[in-house]
Amino acid sequence: MSKSSTITIACALCVGATPEAYLPAALAAIAPAVDALVVNDNSGLERSENVRAIEASAFSTRPLVIEPQPFVDFADMRNRAFASLARLTVRPDWVLFLDADEVHGEQLRYIAHEILPRLSRDVAHVDGYTYHFFGTFGWITDIARRLMFYRYDPSLRWENAVHEKIVGLHGRSVVLPYTYHHYGNVVPPALLARKHTTYYALGNRVPEPPSERTATIAQFLEKAHEVRRYLDPHPYVVRPTLAAIAERSSGTFAQIESAFAAAESADAARRRLVAVNEGLRVALRRLEHPLLYREATRAR
């Protein structure tokens, strides 16, 4: 891979047995920015669908470590993936934090090649923002600050069985006005219930979710009062995936869209204010680093 810097970037990824619909797009999106990939495969399968997708990606010709591991909890999962970085022939300078249902935009390459090499050693991590989609690809629950890159240090570790956090970063953060896309809550009702049931079993303090067998779209509609419309483009690499999923789920999507639109019309003013505040929160980051980040914030 051609690079304009001498830094090395790796990604530590975790996958399980449930097929990740967005994984091929996630891998394609990070390929222009990442040199090596390590994978914690906690599926328990001899060769899962997710592993096949990884082996079919651009990373098949780059340093790639896939290690079967048991699933204990999310901190343990992250720690096992992080430990695999030590197996790379060349230790990375930076690590990209990524979930299998997160898809970056074209600007990730610019960040990796033009921003990271220019950061002083006292910068320990670089954060961005994620759109959190819910129910369909036209509605979000939040634009949340998210850990994106962190400097590699073998002493780092993850804590908390659920909603895990990295511990041991020494230095300051740089927060960029860059947004990418999290699609993990646009899945069939049974898969959403499975995910929430796992979180609940690990101590997540929320009402007990429905079982996979009894799950319906009601669990999406319960959040109708929280969502806002998303009107911007999706990353190029994921558009075919989104189109295929939307076609398969058109009936379910139509029901969710109708309920969300009805709730929006009853609370339009507040939602517009929230959307404006979220946009300003991201845009104001450019004022903190006007010479560092010179590109537009979103993929075209």
Rg, the chain, Cα only: 19
- Give the largest Cα separation in the chain, rounded: 57
What average pLDDT does range 66-91 have in this prediction?
Answer: 97
Copy the structure tokens of residue 257: 């869209």
* pTM score above 0.75: yes
pLDDT, tens digit (0-9, with 9 covering 90-100), for 260-277 = 999 999 998 888 888 888
Give the pLDDT score at 188: 96
pLDDT at 2 over 60: no
Give the pLDDT score at 295: 41
Give the pLDDT score at 298: 31
pLDDT, tens digit (0-9, with 9 covering 90-100), for 127-141 = 999 999 999 999 999
Pair 129, 182: CB distance under 8 Å:
no
User: Could you tell me the domains of the chain?
Assistant: 7-300 (3.90.550)
pLDDT at 6 over 80: no
What average pLDDT does range 84-89 have in this prediction?
Answer: 96
Give the ranges where 111-188 is alpha helix by DSSP (H): none
What average pLDDT does range 187-197 have in this prediction?
Answer: 95
Specify the 3-state DSSP secondary structure of 13.
strand
Predicted confidence band of residue 5 (pLDDT cuts 50, 70, 90): low
- CA nearest to 167, candidates 156, 181, 176: 156
- Using H for helix, E for strand and C for coil, what is the string for 25-67? HHHHHHCCCCCEEEEEECCCCCCCHHHHHHHCCHHHHCCEEEE
Give the pLDDT score at 290: 58
pLDDT, tens digit (0-9, with 9 covering 90-100), for 279-292 = 888 877 766 665 55
What average pLDDT does range 235-256 have in this prediction?
Answer: 97
pLDDT, tens digit (0-9, with 9 covering 90-100), for 197-237 = 999 999 998 889 999 999 999 999 999 999 999 999 999 99
Give the pLDDT score at 291: 54
pLDDT, tens digit (0-9, with 9 covering 90-100), for 103-157 = 999 999 999 999 999 999 999 999 999 999 999 999 999 999 999 999 999 999 9
